[in-house]
Structure 1
Amino acid sequence: MKRPEVVRDYGGISAVDRRAERRAKLLAAGRRLWGESGPGEVTVRGVCAEAGLIPRYFYEQFPNRDALIFAVSDDVRDQLLEALVTAGVGDPGTLADKLRSALTAFLDRIAADPHIHRIATSDLSGVPGLTEHRAHILDMIADLIVAQAPAVLGAETPAPAQLRRGALFLVGGVNQIIESWLDNPVETTTELATISADLCETVVRSIIERPQDHTHH
């Protein structure tokens, strides 16, 4: 019969908290290495050295280095989405005001952390599946737009199919604008957010004013 694992506290810190702390250290180390030198420099040995942990603790959290890279990518994604949603929902103004606030917060977060900038612009071809995984963030943002639209647009909210298509169009377009800006950040974050918000509002208004789609048989 297998003996149950004994989980002890050390120095008042539980085993669960210790594992969480080690995971946070590994994620931070992976983020620094990726942000300073690119994903190719994120290795098990390098991350462990950076985090001050032995490999056993790495494999306690991640099956391989690719899993850590995915986790770092998700961590950055969640921070950016939190900034986007908090600012957009928190602004009590018009649709344009909410869009400007959300996009400014999103861009400010990228601009303030050079690691995020590098992680957001890295060539991901060396990590199988990561390009497709990152692209999923666009679907997540589109889902957020669809979920938040009724609270902002009220009775003007388009039909679900139109709203979803419009959200995908907005997200894809703004993503291209941001990617171009990351390569050559001429405008300030506020200027770019205003440009993007104005374009988004134009698209939204055109969808609202357009007659409902009809399916022809």
Structure 2
Amino acid sequence: MARGQAVRDYGGVSADDRRAERRRRLLDAGRHAWGRAGLGEVTVRGVCTEAGLQPRYFYEQFANRDALIVAVADEVRDKLFTALVDTSRSADGGIEDTLRAALTAFLRVIADDPDIHHIMRTDLAGVPGLETRRVDSLNMVAELILRYGADAPGFDPRPDVDRRRVARFVAGGVNHLIDNWLADQDETPHELADQCTRLCMTLAQGRGGGVR
């Protein structure tokens, strides 16, 4: 076997697969460290120790600690958005039923995973790029509301109201309620989802004043 082939294929596993497996181990270690002990405890040395890898493999994947943290945050966001989108696509009924089901699925992901719960409670100001991603995420939620809910029965803001502003207002308001719930968790995911849904429907249907 040529040396180049040995580098590419070791023990039946390709070099690309080995790199992907190392990346997965580093991401999992970073997520667990962040979830267990907080963002301040995520270090290159600690993550490498937990992943069972040498630091050179860390820098093969990430430029620095912050790059790992951003990658972990992106994975958490993607998991939550997948729950929202998949449930929105499969839910029966009008916008109210769809929104309630999607929010319940979203909140259950958080409630069922202590790491995600702790990550969602983190102050993001200390890591470059994370606060911007938070704003981008809220705008993405607003776009999901428009894509999967704007044409559904029940989404009927007044003609003089911009639907995109309604969607962004809904996303921001729900996010604020979720932030409070993360601190107290005094309601079940279904209870909070139901509360958020009823408030959102009040706004979406133009009751209680308009948003210009």
- Same fold flag (TM > 0.5): yes
Aligned: 1:125 with 2:125: yes
What's the counterpart of residue 110 of structure 2? Answer: 110
What's the counterpart of residue 175 of structure 1? Answer: 175
Aligned mates of 1:169, 1:92 — CA distance in 2: 25
Aligned: 1:147 with 2:140: no
Matched-pair contact (CA < 8 Å) for 1:34–1:115: yes
How many residue pairs are counted as aligned between the two chains?
206
Q: Which amino acid aligns with 1:192?
A: L
Report the 3-state secondary structure (helix = DSSP H, G, I; strand = E; otherwise coil) of the residue aligned with 2:102. helix
Report the 3-state secondary structure (helix = DSSP H, G, I; strand = E; otherwise coil) of the residue aligned with 1:206. coil
Q: TM-score, normalised by structure 2?
A: 0.89
Matched-pair contact (CA < 8 Å) for 2:76–2:116: yes
Matched-pair contact (CA < 8 Å) for 1:62–1:68: yes
Report the 3-state secondary structure (helix = DSSP H, G, I; strand = E; otherwise coil) of the residue aligned with 1:117. helix
Matched-pair contact (CA < 8 Å) for 1:26–1:51: yes
What's the counterpart of residue 198 of structure 1? Answer: 198
Aligned mates of 2:150, 2:185 — CA distance in 1: 33
Q: Which amino acid aligns with 2:89?
A: V
TM-superposition CA deviations, 1:15-39 (whole Å, max 9, x none): 1111111111110000000000111
Aligned mates of 1:30, 1:170 — CA distance in 2: 32
Aligned mates of 1:200, 1:102 — CA distance in 2: 13
TM-superposition CA deviations, 1:97-136 (whole Å, max 9, x none): 1111000001111000111011000122332332222222
Cα distance change of structure 1 residues 195 and 56 upon mapping to structure 2, 3 Å threshold = same
Give the 5 Å matches for 1:1-217: 7-153=7-153, 162-206=162-206
Q: Which amino acid aligns with 2:110?
A: I
Give the C-alpha shift of residue 157 in structure 1: 8.2
Matched-pair contact (CA < 8 Å) for 2:38–2:122: yes
Give the C-alpha shift of residue 155 in structure 1: 9.8
Q: Percent identity?
A: 54
Aligned mates of 1:30, 1:50 — CA distance in 2: 9
Matched-pair contact (CA < 8 Å) for 2:156–2:205: no
Aligned mates of 2:171, 2:53 — CA distance in 1: 40
Matched-pair contact (CA < 8 Å) for 1:73–1:134: no
Q: Which amino acid aligns with 2:67?
A: A
Structure 1 stretches lacking a partner, 5+ long = none
Q: TM-score, normalised by structure 1?
A: 0.87
Cα distance change of structure 1 residues 157 and 12 upon mapping to structure 2, 3 Å threshold = farther
Matched-pair contact (CA < 8 Å) for 1:40–1:126: no
Report the 3-state secondary structure (helix = DSSP H, G, I; strand = E; otherwise coil) of the residue aligned with 1:122. coil
Cα distance change of structure 1 residues 155 and 59 upon mapping to structure 2, 3 Å threshold = closer
TM-superposition CA deviations, 1:157-208 (whole Å, max 9, x none): 887x81110110000000001101111111111111000011111111118x
